[in-house]
Amino acid sequence: MRQPIILASQSPRRAKLLAEAGIVFEVVPSQHEEPVASAWPFGPAEYALAASYYKARAVADLRPDRVILAADTIVALDGRIYGKPMDVDDARRILRTLTGTTHEVITGVSLLDQSGERRRIDHAVTRITMRRMTDIELDAYLAGGEWQGKAGAYAIQESADMFVTRIEGSRTNVVGLPMELVLRVLSEFGLVQR
């Protein structure tokens, strides 16, 4: 029997999505530091792809006998990358920039199988239209702390959903793992049946 895949992430949202899909997995968080977004010389999609690959690679080096799944989610507006906010002031700045816009949520996904010398690196893009938040709404949202650890400082699976007026693409991508893409790749690798 094949061993479970390794999810190279400590994200409870990614683990929940995999579990809900019936995927058997083990969590081994990657210790790889993400590239500095402000110093990234290429586009947002390339950033997400590279970050997911480096996370997968770091865990694959420790567990070469296992299939590794890693992901990295960012938010992009006008070519600028917005990752996880450093603090509440950074979250406020990010949300003030994103509210009232249509922006992209991009998740890079990497699947590495060193035993079969296979790898797949891909990404999903979802366009989110967010209505303008009032100062009172913004203050209340920030006080709740949901912004912590979330790319773009918001989570649609929590109360930020009330600010989203349109989603074009994968909703699970915005949560952190585009399951349509993940299931397709796992199927291509013979790890799930569709």
Residue 193 falls inside a structural domain: no
pLDDT of 1 above 50: no
> For residue range 84-141, what is the model confidence (pLDDT) as tens digits?
999 999 999 999 999 999 999 999 999 999 776 889 999 999 999 999 999 999 999 9
Q: Which of 61, 72, 122, 139 is catalytic?
A: 72
Please answer whether residues 26 and 189 qualify as being in contact, where contact means their C-beta atoms are separated by less than 8 angstroms: no
Boundaries of domain holding 30: 5-188
Pairing of strands 25-27, 5-7: parallel
Give the CB-side neighbour count of residue 16, counting CA atoms within 13 A: 7
Tokens standing for residue 85: 């906010």
> For residue range 137-193, what is the model confidence (pLDDT) as tens digits?
999 999 999 999 999 999 888 888 899 999 999 999 999 999 999 999 999 988 887
Helix (H) or strand (E) holding 59: helix 44-62
**What are the distances in angstroms from CA 167 to CA 76, 105, 159, 164?**
15, 10, 15, 8
Residue 126 falls inside a structural domain: yes
> For residue range 29-72, what is the model confidence (pLDDT) as tens digits?
988 777 656 566 688 999 999 999 999 999 998 988 899 999 99
User: What pTM was computed for the model?
Assistant: 0.92
Tell me if residue 72 is catalytic. Answer: yes
How many residues are listed for the chain in this entry?
194
CA 141 to chain centre: 21
Residue 94 falls inside a structural domain: yes
Residue 34 falls inside a structural domain: yes
Cα angle 162-85-110, degrees, rounded to a multiple of 5: 90
- Number of domain units in the chain: 1
Can you give the CATH number for the domain in which 155 is found?
3.90.950.10
